[in-house]
Amino acid sequence: MTVPTGNKAANEQKPLVSSLPASEQLLKELQTSLNINKVLTIFAQFISRHLPLKALSFCHHQENFPILNQVSGHEHETSLSTLYVEQQYLGELTYTTQGRLNSSQKNWMKSCEQQLLYPLRNALLHHEVCNQAVRDQLTNLGNRVLLEEVLAQLLNVQERSDLQYAVMLIDLDNFQQFNQNHGHTQGDKVLIEFAHLLREQLRSCDQLFRFGGDEFLIIVANPDESALQLIFRRLQLAISDNCPLNSQNISCCAGAVMVKPAHTADSLLEDARQALLLAKNKGPNYLEAPLSFSQTG
């Protein structure tokens, strides 16, 4: 006997309440991985085998993990569940189901959430440790470790495709003198503010890294003359409009190179360094780029 909800189509898709398995079965599956996406996928697959789950996403401190999205048509019900373990906030699960669940099914879902809590906490800790290993602790940008991984993948992909990339290496003008005059604490504040401005000027397809010291590196996807100039010009305007940076006469210069089939990661970065040196020799607010891609301030 199915549980009546007033929606015949939805009832036909819902299993018998007695057929719902013990949630403890889920725990064994969840304990097989520390990868957060894998843990959440196991959870979603277990639920969807027994209930009409159409979408599931998880949000942890503004980081979103979309796991399942099979929503189509109408008559969907969305619900939100906030997860805690030992008074520690883990995040929020958002479910979308075909039709409304009855009370027995909701209780079973809650019991499954209880099995998820500790595996999810362990996966989040693992995720944070992995992020720390590839993130610059001051600016939270990708660090050199992550850059090397991304460049290796980029060069490998470019060998087998027509995708075009450019690398832009950016350096703050007179930053060492600023550090000497105002101290490292104020210097760190400048770097954090500059990293924030950089993020805001980039397209979603571009990637940003802290290269070291006061140098930052951008991987520009599908670059052309306007893309490189636009990024640099927008950055100049953003600095001039930023009171903390503008009041300290902070500016930057940059060197950009196209990624070529013959490049290795080391030769690509060396070419970017040489382009940056040319820009620095020509003065502040200067972009040294291939062919007609150059722009002065």
In a domain, 179, yes or no: yes
The pLDDT of residue 247 is 85
In a domain, 138, yes or no: no
* Same domain, residue pair 290 and 177: yes
The pLDDT of residue 293 is 47
Closest-CA residue to 32 (of 105, 96, 117, 119): 119
**Which CATH number characterizes residue 286's domain?**
3.30.70.270
* Same domain, residue pair 71 and 116: yes
Write out the H or E segment, with its range, that includes residue 281: helix 265-281
The pLDDT of residue 288 is 94
24 vs 37: CA distance, rounded Å: 20
Looking at 102-143, list the stretches that DSSP marks H as alpha helix, in order from N- to C-terminal side.
103-133
* Same domain, residue pair 152 and 110: no
* Same domain, residue pair 108 and 185: no
β-strand pairing of 286-288 with 252-258: parallel
* Same domain, residue pair 129 and 151: no
Taking only the tens place, the pLDDT of each residue in 48-85 is: 999 999 999 999 987 889 999 887 766 688 999 999 99
* Same domain, residue pair 48 and 107: yes
AA identity, residue 288: E
Residues 143-177: b if buried by 16+ CB within 10 A, e if exposed:
beebbeebbeebbeebeeeeeebbbbbbbbbebee
Whether the pTM exceeds 0.75: the reply is no
- Ranges of residues in the chain whose predicted pLDDT is under 70: 1-19, 73-75, 225, 291-297
33 vs 20: CA distance, rounded Å: 24
In a domain, 155, yes or no: yes
In a domain, 2, yes or no: no
AA identity, residue 191: L
Choosing from 102, 133, 164, the residue where a domain stops is 133
Q: How many CB atoms neighbour CB 206 within 10 A?
A: 20
Please state, rounded to an integer, the average pLDDT across all residues of the chain: 87
The Cα-based distances of 57 to 29, 78, 113, 294 in angstroms read: 19, 11, 13, 44
- Coil, strand or helix: which one is 52? coil
AA identity, residue 269: L
- Strand order across the beta sheet in which 252-258 lies: 207-212, 215-221, 165-172, 252-258, 286-288, 295-296
The pLDDT of residue 225 is 66
Show the domain range for 113: 8-133
Choosing from 74, 103, 133, the residue where a domain stops is 133
In a domain, 3, yes or no: no
201 vs 115: CA distance, rounded Å: 43
270 vs 237: CA distance, rounded Å: 28
- Strand order across the beta sheet in which 76-85 lies: 63-69, 53-60, 88-98, 76-85
89 vs 35: CA distance, rounded Å: 19
296's CB contacts (< 8 A; 6+ apart) are 282, 283, 285, 286, 287
* Same domain, residue pair 232 and 282: yes
The pLDDT of residue 1 is 36
* Same domain, residue pair 105 and 249: no
23's CB contacts (< 8 A; 6+ apart) are 108, 111, 112, 114, 115
**Which CATH number characterizes residue 60's domain?**
3.30.450.40
* Same domain, residue pair 43 and 89: yes
